Amino acid sequence: MSGGELKYINEAFETNWIAPLGPNVDAFENEIAHYIGANGAVAVSSGTAAIHLALSLLDVKKGDTVFCSTLTFVASANPILYQGAEPVFIDSEPETWNMSPEALEKAFIDASRTGKLPKAVIVVNLYGQSAKMDEILSICNQYDVPMIEDAAESLGSSYKGMSSGTFGKFGIFSFNGNKIITTSGGGMLVSDDVDALNKARFLATQSRDPAPHYQHSVMGFNYRMSNILAGVGRGQLEVLEERVLARRIIFSRYYQGLSHLPGISFMPELENTRSNRWLTTLTIDEKEAGISSNYLIQSLAEENIEARPVWKPLHLQPLFKRVKYYPYKNNRSVSDHLFTTGVCLPSGSNLTEEEMIRVIDCLKNAFKLKI
């Protein structure tokens, strides 16, 4: 927390605006929309809820398919199941670790041949890095299929001068406790389609019809953000650029300290983009380095330093074991490789120089002990 959140929280208490509506909610929506350059935004209870609303607005239903990035957290795909639809997973590519335009095109060609195009494409901006939006949007537009940009991890990032979250029909952000700014739990649906956003507000408030009594003509959801949490978000948004700068400095410090080690490669930053570097991530070539990613993670754990593998691809998850998957190449799955070789390092915005040095020294020592 920055401390600035208390001003807005206290206002909520003083005015007794506690429910999931109120001045902080309205202001937080407007401030996010202004920051990213979108026409509007709807504050909701989670990023998952925002994806679910986007799919509902696109009329995704049972029997439909939705193309989705495979290298992501399960929350990107679960809303597809909520709607009774079926995901089809698309591999990553090496330059961004995000959805491969080549694999996406293969999936569209096959779908076109069978006469069953997807209802939507969910593209995830992994660890703050934007996907190849020009190429992906071109393919989606060719087949007239809307894109949902899962920017849960990439608030504050940009692609060719445009803010992350603004490229699809809908964009979504997460304010979970681990994100670059947080409301403890919460999310945001953004779009240039104001009518769709108004419908999203209706659906997110149990689809209550405009009547003096409680009347409901369609199924709705309890997805709105509280006025208190929106106040936390307003205070956090004021320091977003500071947080992005801090994360980018952390990445640079790790890069300077570790990039010379054999077999170490850091997550790339695509030309003409700015990643918020939500997490600093790297891969290790076991043949070149003589040690594995698991060995590095365990070495850090022994020093009470938490590191993790990158996301386990969704096509490898038991939940999705029968789901169709399109790899980057016929004989090459980039997401599988990233999962087995990738490591996420401690990257909190408040990480101190001493803590970073400690992590770097522990990793260097792991190499010394093994080589």
Angle at alpha carbon of residue 217, lines to 216 and 221, rounded to 5°: 60
Contact in structure between 41 and 197 (CB atoms under 8 Å): yes
Joined tokens for residue 357: 């040095």
Is 179 marked active-site? yes
Beta partners for residue 122, in sequence order: 68, 148
Give the residue ranges of DSSP H helices in 265-323.
Answer: 286-289, 293-301
* Type and span of the H or E element at 148: strand 147-150
Catalytic member of 106, 132, 169, 179: 179
Tell me how far apart the alpha carbons of residues 275 and 277 are, in angstroms, rounded to a whole number.
5
Tell me how far apart the alpha carbons of residues 84 and 56 are, in angstroms, rounded to a whole number.
11
121: CB partners within 8 A, 6+ apart: 66, 67, 68, 104, 136, 140, 145, 146, 147, 148
- How would you list the strands of the sheet with 342-344, edge to edge? 264-266, 281-284, 342-344
Cite the active site residues. Answer: 179
